[in-house]
Amino acid sequence: MILSMTGYAVQTRDLGRVALHLELRSVNSRYLDLAFRINDDLRQAEPILREAITGKLSRGKVECRFNLQTKDSAPRELAMNAVLLGQLKNAQLAIQAELPQAAPLSVAEVLRWPGMLADDSPTFDALQPEIVRLVAAALDELVATRRREGEKLAEMIRGRIAHMRGLVARVQPRVPALVAEYQEKLATRLRDAAATLDDDRIRLEVGLFAQRVDVAEELPRLSTHPDEVDRILKTGGASGKRLDFLMQELNREANTLGSKAMAADMTAIAVELKLAIEQMREQVQNIE
């Protein structure tokens, strides 16, 4: 399948008191360009994200926003540090033995003591399996959106290719007719300019004209290059660079055809060919 480089995905995992939120956006780029915006709590997840993305995508500018959201409304479990509490208790008894007038610690002071209450937020190691699953799901969603967009691009390119084939088919029978028309006009001019007709001179001039308007090389290429575009679209995969090269070749042949056009209808066809190629080239820039 043909993949576009434009896509979007968002995945959220509710883990009780916290939630993982991952957002992926991708646009066209010459290479694979990754940008990360990750909460400090999840900074260790960047290698996981980078490895997963490079394993799935080959081109595009991908922006990753990953954060850990804490839900204040979720109930918290208060777990006291029993060892520290015992140490505080022994320290208070020792102080009061030396200083009987010293005021005892209040409950609030004990709870605020550094390290007394354990943090019930999950550690990164505990979150890692869920992070791996979340990243995989987000990438699957991103690839699916890029695939749907790629199908639309491929359909548009096929339509332009069919239009090009019709234009080329109109050019092919016109070349012999143009040479014949020129031969008749040249013969008429020479008859008017000279008392006797020099057949060799007419044949020479017609031969030179035929060389100038000879599109024997351009027309086959304007037929075979579209065939190659069709083949690439059917094969799929990362094909944007190959398609872009073919668009350059098609544009070169269309320019040459336009320069050799000796009639208004051929010039119009060459212009229409260039327009169709440019429309395809704009879309090819978005293909992976």
Residue 38: pLDDT band (50, 70, 90) is very high
Does pLDDT of 76 surpass 80? no
Percent of the chain surpassing pLDDT 70: 84
Distances (CA, A) of 83 to 90, 106, 267: 11, 18, 91
Among 127, 134, 135, 130, smallest CA distance to 56 is for: 135
The CA distance from 193 to 202, in Å, is 12
The CA distance from 215 to 178, in Å, is 12
> Which stretches of 28-87 are assigned E, i.e. beta strand?
32-38, 60-70
Give the strand order in the sheet containing 32-38: 7-14, 18-27, 60-70, 32-38
How high is the pLDDT of residue 103? Answer: 87
Looking from the CA of 185 toward its CB, the CA atoms found within 13 Å total: 8
Residue 139: pLDDT band (50, 70, 90) is very high
Rg (CA), the chain: 37
Q: Which of 33-42, 154-163, 217-226 has the lowest mean pLDDT?
A: 217-226
Residue 46's SS3 state is helix
pLDDT, tens digit, 9 for 90 and up, residues 40-56:
889 999 999 999 999 99
Higher pLDDT, 51 or 259: 51
The CA distance from 54 to 128, in Å, is 19
Higher pLDDT, 274 or 203: 274
Does pLDDT of 222 surpass 90? no
Residue 81: pLDDT band (50, 70, 90) is confident
Residue 63: pLDDT band (50, 70, 90) is very high
The rounded mean pLDDT for the chain is 85
Q: Fill in the amino acid letter for 57.
A: L
Q: Fill in the amino acid letter for 254.
A: A
Distance spanning both ends of the chain, measured CA to CA: 11
Kindly state the DSSP code that residue 43 receives in the 8-state scheme.
Answer: G
| Residues 44, 49, 55, 59, Cα dihedral to 10° | -130
